[in-house]
Structure 1
Amino acid sequence: MDEESRNGGPDSRQFDVSGAKINILSDEYDPTVSLISSNEKWVEDDEVPRKEVGTSSFWQATSNTVALLLGTGMLALPYAVMLGGWSSLALLAFFAIMFCYTGCLLGSCMKENPLLTTYQEIAGSALGLRGRILFTIFFYVEVLANRVGFLISVGDNLARIFPGVESHIPAWIHLSPSMTLASLAMLLISPTALIRDLSNIAYLSFGGIVTSLVVVGAVAWTGTTVVGFNQPIPFANFGKWRFILGLYSYCYAGHPVVPNIHSSMREPSKFPVMLMLSFTIATTTYAGIGLMGASMFGKETLSQITLNIPRDLMAATIVLWTTVLTPLTKFPLAVAPIATELESFLPFDSHSTAHYVFGNIIRLGILGLILAVTITFPYFGSTLNFIGSSITIITCIILPCVFDLVLHWRTIPKLQLMVDIVFLTAATCFAIVGTFSSGGV
């Protein structure tokens, strides 16, 4: 890796996921705009480059990982529990085990080869340039697909906040109130996508864990003081499990950032324990809100638990606005990497006015694409199920298992080999079944 690439030179491409800023071409992790505290430096030792240990403590890394895991998928957990029965939480736990295990596999790859510091480097080491390109494609598709899920959530919650908007929509607009409001929200935030210096909006990435706590607290308070937890939850509805595979897997998306968390740790040897603790906390939170929401509203549970909270409660207002504002702040960070890549193909000097103008058109076009897909597929549960069943399972389970098998085929212990094959097979089946069933949620 040359010096210019390490420092995020002019030829680098950067993107941000849950606050972690990663460099596609330079493989750089920039801690200045991340939740991860890492002041990593490159040093020379007998002409062999290596990275010094990061500065994040065990608890800082745990906090960052929990913040990465807890996200929009949490809103659909009560609906998934209601649909599949409370025994389907065993499926959630199985996904947690698989995702935690494959996260540890990524850490193992980095431990054996300290020069591997990002997911794309691991992909390149295992599968070559094609693997690196494959990961990048999957990653960008996942980023855009997640924003579609965010925008659907924004529109649905705004429609809940402004219930009278339907009567004010002109007859010539053939959109539902939620999609009309989502379109207006996208229009309002579109100027932020034109910002080139992401450090100016980096602080927007710190609200994820707060949002999660607010939602959990509001659901618990509503159930305890207003609604109660009296609705029966079926033990199992196995016929519906295929419809919730993607919802459960979506909750644990984030593996592309996991290697950066590993690199940031002061004591990387504690990475597996940190990861297990983080997944335990996230899974406990998911199971808790899933059981609470399903037992509060039973068969009336909606695909987003925020829509079930009685509208006249202050808790509903707080949760709805929190759920609306947080996803919107992440759109400019999601658009930047893809726009930067596309701008590199423009036949203009990077400092010219033409490059700037057409670059803005590209950025607005990406937002338009997200909005078009959202309007075409406006169903929150189905969208999250599709993303989780296809892209998330491939990126977070299938590919890490493939990396481990390719890189360590000759030295891998038999037990680990069996686990890799079992998880790879199970994940492939889940991806196929979940993807084809996603429209039924």
Structure 2
Amino acid sequence: MTELQNEVVDCESQQEVSDYAKSINDWLPVTSSRKAKWWYSAIHNITCMVGAGILGLPYAMSQLGWGPGVTVLVLSWAITFYTLWQMVEMHEIVPGKRFDRYHELGQYAFGEKLGLWIIVPQQLMVQAGCDIVYMVTGGRSLMKFYNIVSPNGTPIKLSYFIMIFASVQFFLSNLPNFNSITTVSCAAAVMSLSYSAIAWIASAIKGVEPDVSYGNRFSTTPGQTFGFLSGLGTMAFAFSGHNVVLEIQATIPSTPEKPSKKPMWKGAFVAYIVVAICYFSVAFVGYLVFGNTVDDNILISLEKPDWLIAAANLFVVIHVIGSYQVFAMPVFDMLESFLVLKRKFKPSRTLRIVTRSSYVALTMFIGIAFPFFGSLLSVLGGVAFAPTSYYIPCIIWLIICKPKKYSLSWFCNWFCIIFGVALTILAPIGAIRELIIEAKSYKFFS
């Protein structure tokens, strides 16, 4: 065979590989549609950031106290706002290439194998962990709604409410990609704003409790110490949107004249302003009104009026339905990529149904088996959320962009890294102690 014929064969082979890769990308949920607008970014970011964890912020404030609580919450918002901007900027930092997934950016920075090992376990821990928490939260909120509207009704176990919530997820999980869940995500975003507003407005109307105290809620020194550390984790858990930001940006069209970062940042900016309004109002007003007696869910502390609390719990259910899907979609993408590219399964509807239904079933089973999984908020906040939201973007920025040593950018990134690493180390300690205490009285599948 002549040299020219060899080149022709090579070109045809490369074209076949390129066409196959494109066909797979057109099938996978993250890259199958690139028609999103800037407000898609705003909706999805609000849905995944303003989560049910916001209802625990007044409780975290009671664990930390006014000074540390305000400081940690404001610093967390500012740091994650900065790292979110970094993620958006780095999506197309290499000309002609898009990092459509968090692990792809990690692989570019750390290397093909090391990047996968650093990013994928962290990302899966956050996304699957959130979905399990949402299973439990959705079930609990359904149960609260039922108990309020039917106080004399037949008692129903939490497990059955979790199954009801999961049945909705079995159906929605068949939607193919991010753009197809926009309506669900939009409803979830509206609901998150609604129950956040109910939480702080109802607290403000109720007024400060006559015997309110802002002293430490724990009577012993170990309790104070571990409670403080647990509060740090709960704060960190509230900032989780970075785990899906590149995947959301992948749905936005991009050209050299109009790169995706412009509409993406516009939506992300709007989302973070909404985050600030919701987080600060719920955290500060809730703690101001109830002090150190506030429950780990501010809606429980409110109690009255019944119709308002029932509505708020229904809003929570609708919100976590959408949040579950926003966090699950990148997991579906990982699973389907692995099965098709590594295990050579043929892309098909059957493969998609089996894969996604198995994931929903697994999260449902864990949620039913361990209904106190919400106590893992602080563990997840420290171990997984702090790295992926607080400092891994900064490390990648230092590797790729190489800011001048001792410049403002260099100092900002190192401050974020030190703050985030401290959260990673300290936050899980208090939460693990709480889990051990709860586990002593726990009955499996109760």
TM-score, normalised via structure 1 length: 0.75
Distance 1:413 1:234 in 2: 40
The CA deviation at 1:413 is: 5.2
Deviations 1:291-317 (A, max 9, x none): 222233344422222333326532112
SS in 1 for 2:61: helix
Q: Which residue of 1 aligns with 2:183?
A: 203
Q: How does 1:220-235 map to 2 (within 5 A)?
A: 220-225=200-205, 227-230=206-209, 232-234=212-214
Distance 1:392 1:125 in 2: 21
Residues 13, 340 of structure 1: 8 Å contact kept:
no
The CA deviation at 1:387 is: 1.8
Residues 247, 388 of structure 1: 8 Å contact kept:
yes
Q: 1:301/1:208 Cα in 2 relative to 1: closer, same or farther (>3 Å)?
A: same
Q: Which residue of 2 aligns with 1:53?
A: none
Q: 1:341/1:109 Cα in 2 relative to 1: closer, same or farther (>3 Å)?
A: closer
Q: Which residue of 1 aligns with 2:357?
A: 364
Q: Which residue of 2 aligns with 1:297?
A: 290
Distance 2:357 2:45 in 1: 31
Q: How does 1:208-223 map to 2 (within 5 A)?
A: 208-223=188-203
Q: Which residue of 2 aligns with 1:75?
A: 55
Q: Which residue of 2 aligns with 1:316?
A: 309
Residue 333 of structure 2 is aligned to residue 337 of structure 1: yes
Unaligned stretches of 5+ residues in structure 1: 16-21, 38-55, 170-176
Does 88-97 or 238-247 show the bigger shift?
238-247
Distance 2:288 2:70 in 1: 14
Distance 2:134 2:141 in 1: 11
SS in 1 for 2:240: coil
Q: Which residue of 2 aligns with 1:44?
A: none
* Aligned AA (1:290): A
The CA deviation at 1:235 is: 6.2
Residues 69, 254 of structure 1: 8 Å contact kept:
yes
**Structure of higher CA gyration radius:** 2
Q: 1:224/1:126 Cα in 2 relative to 1: closer, same or farther (>3 Å)?
A: closer
* Aligned AA (1:295): L
Deviations 1:192-228 (A, max 9, x none): 4345577654421112331222113212442344x32
Aligned residues: 394
Q: 1:338/1:117 Cα in 2 relative to 1: closer, same or farther (>3 Å)?
A: closer
Residue 93 of structure 2 is aligned to residue 93 of structure 1: no
Q: Which residue of 2 aligns with 1:395?
A: 388
Q: 1:436/1:198 Cα in 2 relative to 1: closer, same or farther (>3 Å)?
A: same
Distance 1:360 1:214 in 2: 33
Residues 65, 261 of structure 1: 8 Å contact kept:
no
Distance 2:363 2:40 in 1: 33
Give the fraction of aligned pairs with identical amino acids, expressed as a percent: 14
Q: Which residue of 2 aligns with 1:433?
A: 426
SS in 1 for 2:144: helix
Residue 175 of structure 2 is aligned to residue 182 of structure 1: no
Higher helix share: 2
Unaligned stretches of 5+ residues in structure 2: 1-14, 218-223, 435-446
Q: How does 1:2-401 map to 2 (within 5 A)?
A: 4=19, 9-10=23-24, 14-15=28-29, 22-23=30-31, 30-32=33-35, 34=36, 37=37, 56=38, 65-66=45-46, 68-87=48-67, 88-110=69-91, 113-115=94-96, 117-118=98-99, 119-134=102-117, 135-163=119-147, 168=155, 177-187=157-167, 189-196=169-176, 201-225=181-205, 227-230=206-209, 232-234=212-214, 239=225, 240-259=227-246, 261=249, 279-310=272-303, 312-331=305-324, 334=328, 336-341=332-337, 343-344=339-340, 349-351=346-348, 356=350, 360-379=353-372, 381-401=374-394
Q: 1:346/1:101 Cα in 2 relative to 1: closer, same or farther (>3 Å)?
A: closer
Larger RCO, structures 1/2 (Cα 8 Å, 6+ apart): 2
Measured on the aligned residues, the alpha-carbon RMSD in Å equals 3.8
Distance 1:280 1:104 in 2: 13
Distance 1:341 1:269 in 2: 28
SS in 1 for 2:289: helix
SS in 2 for 1:252: coil
SS in 2 for 1:229: coil
SS in 1 for 2:371: coil
Q: 1:278/1:312 Cα in 2 relative to 1: closer, same or farther (>3 Å)?
A: closer
Distance 1:120 1:127 in 2: 10
TM-score, normalised via structure 2 length: 0.74
The CA deviation at 1:242 is: 1.0
Higher strand share: 1
